[in-house]
Structure 1
Amino acid sequence: MDAEATDPGLLKKHSVFKSYTVSSTGFTYPSLRVFFRPHPQRDKLPTEPSPIPLLVFIHGLGGSVAQFHPILTSLVNVADCLALDLPGCGLSAFEPKAWEAYTTDALVQLLGTVIQDHRDAGSGQDVVLIGHSMGCSLATLLASLTSPYTEVLSKHVAGLIAICPKAAPPSAEETAKFRKLLWIPGMIFDLWRRWDRRGGTESASVARFTGPDAEEETKKLQVKFNEQSRTPVWRRMASGILPDYSEGVPKGGIPGRDIWAGLQVPVFLIAGEADHVTPAEELKRIAEFLGKDVSEPTDDGDTDTDGDIVPDAAAPFDIGKIESHHAHSKESHEHLMALKEETTALDGEPSPSTAQHPDAEATAPISSRPERHLILKTTILPSPAAHALLYAPTTSRTISGLIQSFLAEHIDKRLSLGWQLQYLTTEGKWDVKNLAKWQAVTPVSGPIAGVFRAMKTLREVDEHHSPKVFVRVWKGKIRAVIDISHDNPVYDYRGLEEGGIAYYKFPTVSKLPPTVDEIKSFISLVDGLRSKEGSPTAQSAGGGTKESNVPTADGDQESEGLIGVHCHYGFNRTGFFIVCYMVERLGYRLQDALDEFERRRPPGIRHGHFVDTLFVRYCVGLKRAPTL
């Protein structure tokens, strides 16, 4: 089946085929697949002092736009998004055929032309470059102030995110050997590639990118991407990234120390511990290029194999170290790893964070453009994360969540989906439109994990879901209600308490995932309620429900004395808190907890950025290295 037939719907809907002539090189590329999805609410978002930045995605050698699809599904709701199948890659035509049209120089100039064609230059729109593998090198050449292509785009680059980056070009000896490899006739080279693919998902060609312990779905995707990679295109691009050592120093090709050192924007480096194509140690080298003194001890004193003290950013993930700091069982620990983060600008003051809940001023339009300076943030995802971590189901949502956090914290707070949702909420909570929506929502869910029921908020004057009716229907089945809505409730909670159902106010802000501290407080509150004498679901704070909480004959669970939780509708914030409790206290795997919540409260958590945040916190057990 060809690539176009298997293209995801999002890419099909927002892709066009365009011809571009690059004036600086003279090459014409007659049919390039360009994916461009404007922000669905771009006309309603503030444009002063400039529009929200354009996100540009750049794939690597042999890659395609399709490799970004898992994270594009989330990021297209945050900003305008642009991606390009480089010539001969993905769905783009293999035209022209000249080798010079595929050099690093030619590709950087082509990218600059396509980006300028989509950037709102008249309004001063900036761009954020997001690269994978070789795409990181192309992005760095576009962003660096010491790049030979600085006039192409660099003054408009607001940030750089490099996934599986290469720090420097190969040595003169390595380059010479690689050039000899490329002298092999194309037919023989293609036969070698076919031999390398023997075994399908278990082939050496797949294992090289996914790692041997990857899940089957990742391996299948890698087979597809390997088959789409054309040998003549691969050879031309591989030749084009090699530097010229004729004068003793590398010239051209992928960037090294001098180019990386010219970055003066926020930079986020992401790597996989099991990546053997671009090893995680590359992050250490890039950190050195950017001026980080790796001889300085970090807070936890991680050391590399040579005994030199290096930042977490450079040290491979050590699962044993992390386990020694947390009193979780091994089984539980696989689904709950600590996240550690420090944020410091290299040239001075800490960078302000906007990831936490904003106050009333947080959604106000920005009055002036933020001053750009270098911030370095690094993350290494633990094994089995490898070169395919961008599109592997086990890591792609985590990558998406990390990127969203970085965009909002260090580049532009308006790149937070939560900020945008709050900004766009101009109507009252209970006008006719919202009331109609509220009335269409099921009042109370089925029992969830033998502990909870998700609810929509009560309304004092409603004939079906008021405190008086609620007590009559649910007394003895729900023993307490936790109200996590931010505003005063639109019902008199005393009606619950007078009827024998306890009420607890736990205010949180809508549209934004709850913070780590809020989760801790919520868990403590629920632990306290469950440990009260006489609770049918009482347990110790360490987790483990009593055997009485088992499914009944009809597949439901006993629901005596459960805890009701509600925000406005009982899906997003409510689901987030409940799922966190299920993971941290009840030993659920994250995906199982999400599935259980969706089954009991369909359609489950609706906001994609809430789910992304959950994956960042729980699913992969990643190690967040300090920001330098």
Structure 2
Amino acid sequence: MAKTAQGSSASAPESSLATDAHATDPALLRDHSQLKSYKTSRFEYPEIRVFFRQHVKADQLPKKPAPLPLLVCVPGLGGSVAQFHPLLRSLVDLAPCLAIDWPGGGRSRFAPTQWEAYTSAALMELLEVVIEDHRDKEHGQGVVLIAHSMGTILSAGLANPKLPHKTSLAKHVVGLVAICPVSGPMEESKAKLVKRLFWIPGWVFNLWRMWDGRGGPNSASVARFVGEGAPAELKLMQHRYNRQSLTPVWRRMAYGALPARFEDGKPVGGIPGPEAWAGLNIPVFLIGGEKDNVTPPKEVDKIVKAFHSLDDSMAHDEAQIPIVSELDSPASVNGSTQLDADANDNINGLSAEDAEDSDANGPSTPVEYPPDLPPQSQHPLRAVRSIILTGAAANHTLLYSPRTVRALAGLVSDFLTDHITQRLSLAWQLQHLSREGKWDVKNLLKWQGVKPVSEPIGPSNNPVFRVTKTLREADDVHCPAVFADNWGHAIKDVIDISKDQPVYDPRGLERRGIHYHKFPTVSKIPPEAETVDQFIKLVDSIREAQRERAAAEGWSGPEQCVVGVHCHYGYNRSGYFVVCYLVEKCGFALADAIEAFKTARPNGIRHSHFLDKLYMRYDLEERPVEN
């Protein structure tokens, strides 16, 4: 069992050159992480960083035949929970999420130090124990493993009930998403050669890493992962991850992944082999990158071949084939797709929903699911789907690259809905809870009386914003689908500054080319100076990206494309941020900026303390005296 330890940290901007994992933790990870101690059959691991966030409406969603599956993120060699942050921002709205830093990685303490504690078998057992500590065993909760790099083969071994395990977890794994997957151990000759390299003392290896890392974000060690033409933001991120990967930890995990020996040419020990993939009886989604130099796309082909190697034997032994009715699970689909990931977070030539054949059931379609409860099978049909993203951005950073993470999140979301359970659709959850009166806007009548979208705000020849009220999934007028149809030509990005999870599915915007950005703030309190600065930087980055998107996608009238901003009703917080931007970036005088917002959004900023704070921020002497 687990013992809770203190696990707080200070925050720092993502662009910081700091390499301390505590200091660079994003707010989502920082607010939902603990340092915990776990004991396996052989080792005790003190201070393992565990990220866990329960679904915000878990208590109101149905638990029969089981709760929503627990989504578990599994890092690779030298990886960390932080690498999953861009994906987790989407996943936490769908289901409960769990992730850990391996011992000595990320924020976890490097202990114990014995090499045996870092073998693949030892790490798999640790992961089993952590998952079982968080899985709702009482209600039979299933688990979906979402893994990256070496974490994918460890997850395959964890999910295969035919391999030895210390717990019964394998029986409850209902799906596996493998990003940049590993098919199995390297061949004997290469493995023996690599093993000899571990005779080199650790301090020598560390010197080589320092030499390889010369140039920091522009070093060869970073380029190996991010490829050519990578944006500065990604280079900086990869540099930080490389620095956070400690040499003694990397050496132990890498050595522990190698076979202990070979018997008749077959590996013994180390990471599981292709048979781990072949023996899986669950839906599997393989996502590779054409330019991945670490785990090349041929690994996907090997896994698909291994997965299908069991088909013939299963065909001759019907007793091994699970009997699953059409109502118990989505149809089994085995397929491979090749998609192109471009520099603007899109998949060229084929949208994510087209790739998954699911546009008809998009998250904003009012008739996506029948009003009754969609089925949730505890044993989804065995299936394999593979996708190779192409283009310069399709490399080992698929998981966290700004250029690919939107497409990746969409593909993963569609797979979870199509192959695991339709209840993992945020659109269905919102519609279900809205019908039950358990999740909706705070005051529906007041919300319905507010104009959905403001007039353009900013310089007359180059407006910057349109402020909106929050969208509502169950609404016929202001839901993502209708909003995109009416405003998608002008509003290309939406910034959601509400603190809570929105009452609409952001994928409904993303599918239709409108990028969604979550920037949570507290209601009724004027934002602090640091928060305003971060908002301004976000808007600047969005506007720059819009210029690139306009050229790449051939927008008509790109100069009239604006950024949508909403809180709940679109008055006080939204108005405060918009006014600050007009003053600091567009040259407006404070009084003119306040009036411009009020003209575009009649009644303007309603709370006087927001106006007071604006005058204190910019010009105390200009504040008019009210009679």
Q: Do they fold alike, i.e. is TM over 0.5? A: yes
Aligned equivalent of 1:232: 248
Q: State how 1:512-591 maps to structure 2 within 5 Å.
A: 514=481, 579=514, 587=550
After superposition, give the CA deviation of every residue in 1:547-569 in whole Å (9 maximum; x if it has no partner): xxxxxxxxxxxxxxxxxxxxx99
* Structure 2 residue 309 is matched with structure 1 residue 283: no
Deviation at residue 241 of structure 1 after TM alignment: 0.6
**Alignment-derived partner of residue 297 in structure 1:** none
Judge conservation of contact 2:288–2:296 (CA < 8 Å) in 1: yes
For 1:205-242, what per-residue CA distance to the aligned partner results, in whole angstroms no more than 9, with x for missing partners? 10111112211111101100110111111111001111
Q: CA contact under 8 A between 1:508 and 1:514: conserved in structure 2?
A: no
- Residues 93-104 of structure 1 aligned to structure 2 (within 5 Å): 93-104=109-120
In structure 2, how many angstroms separate the alpha carbons of the residues matched to 1:293 and 1:268?
A: 17
Corresponding position: 1:188 with 2:204: yes
CA distance in structure 2 between the aligned counterparts of 1:596 and 1:66, rounded to whole angstroms: 36
Partner of 1:111: 127
Aligned-pair distance for 1:379? 1.7
Partner amino acid for 2:446? A
Q: State yes or no: 1:4 paired with 2:22.
A: yes
| Cα distance in 1 for residues equivalent to 2:182 and 2:231 | 25
Report the secondary structure of 2:404's partner residue.
Answer: helix
Paired AA for residue 418 in structure 1: A
For residue 422 of structure 1, the aligned residue among 415, 420, 431 is: 431
CA distance in 2: counterparts of 1:275 and 1:575, whole angstroms: 26
Deviation string for 1:6-51 (max 9, x for gaps)?
111111111111110002xx20001111111111111111111100
Report the equivalent of 1:476: none
Moved more, 237-246 or 102-111: 237-246
Mapping of 1:33-182 within 5 angstroms? Answer: 33-149=49-165, 152-182=168-198
User: How far apart are 1:252 and its partner, in Å?
Assistant: 2.0
Structure 1 unpaired stretches of 5+:
295-310, 320-330, 345-349, 458-483, 488-506, 528-542, 546-567, 607-628
Structure 1 residues 194, 148: closer, same or farther in 2, change over 3 A?
A: same
> 1:159 & 1:35 partners in 2: Cα distance?
20
Q: Residue type of the partner of 2:177?
A: I
Question: What does the per-residue CA deviation read over 1:493-541, in whole Å, with 9 as the maximum and x for residues that have no partner?
Answer: xxxxxxxxxxxxxx7894xx649xx98xx69xx99xxxxxxxxxxxxxx
Structural mapping, 1:198-597, within 5 Å = 198-247=214-263, 248-291=265-308, 313=336, 336-339=348-351, 357=365, 359=367, 362-366=370-374, 369-382=377-390, 383-425=392-434, 426-427=436-437, 433-441=443-451, 444-446=454-456, 510=479, 514=481, 579=514, 587=550
What is the TM-score when the length of structure 2 is the normalising length? 0.66
Contact 1:61–1:237 (8 Å) recurs in 2:
yes
Compute the RMSD of aligned alpha carbons: 4.4
Aligned to 1:22: 40
1:387 and 1:486, CA in 2 relative to 1: closer, same or farther beyond 3 A?
closer
Q: 2:70 touches 2:96 (CA, 8 Å); kept in 1?
A: yes
Q: Which amino acid aligns with 1:599?
A: V
2:266 match: secondary structure: coil
Instruction: Tell me which structure has the larger Cα radius of gyration.
Output: 1
Quote how far apart the aligned CAs of 1:362 are. Answer: 3.0
Q: Partners of 2:468 and 2:234 in 1: how far apart?
A: 38
CA deviations over 1:66-89 (Å, ceiling 9, x no partner): 100111111111111000001111
Structure 1 pair 486–442 and aligned structure 2 pair: CA distance change class (3 A): closer
Closer, same or farther in 2 for the Cα pair 1:274/1:285, shift >3 Å? same
Gap change, CA 1:360 and 1:284, over 3 Å in 2: closer
Contact kept? 2:175, 2:284, Cα under 8 Å: yes
* 1: CA distance, partners of 2:440 / 2:92: 29
CA 1:486–1:381: 2 relative to 1, 3 Å: same
In structure 2, C-alpha distance between the alignment counterparts of 1:27 and 1:485, rounded to whole Å: 48
Range with greater deviation from structure 2 (215-224 or 243-252): 243-252
What is the rounded CA distance, in whole Å, between the counterparts of 1:168 and 1:429 in structure 2? Answer: 45
How many residue pairs match? The answer is 477
Share of identical aligned residues, percent? 41
Asked if 2 retains the 8 angstrom alpha-carbon contact of 1:54 and 1:126, the reply is yes
Letter of the 1:4 partner, please give it.
H
| Cα distance between partner residues in 2 of 1:240 and 1:175 | 12
Q: Indicate the structure whose relative CO is greater, using CA pairs within 8 Å and at least 6 residues apart.
A: 1
Instruction: Please state whether the residue corresponding to 1:131 is helix, strand or coil.
Output: strand
User: C-alpha distance in 1, partners of 2:291/2:276?
Assistant: 27
Residue 372 of structure 1 deviates from its aligned partner by 2.2
Taking a change above 3 Å as real, the CA distance of residues 39 and 601 of structure 1, as seen in their structure-2 partners, is closer
Instruction: Report if aligned partners of 1:273, 1:316 keep a CA contact under 8 Å in 2.
Output: no
The residue aligned with 1:490 is none
Following superposition, the deviation at residue 147 of structure 1 comes to 2.5
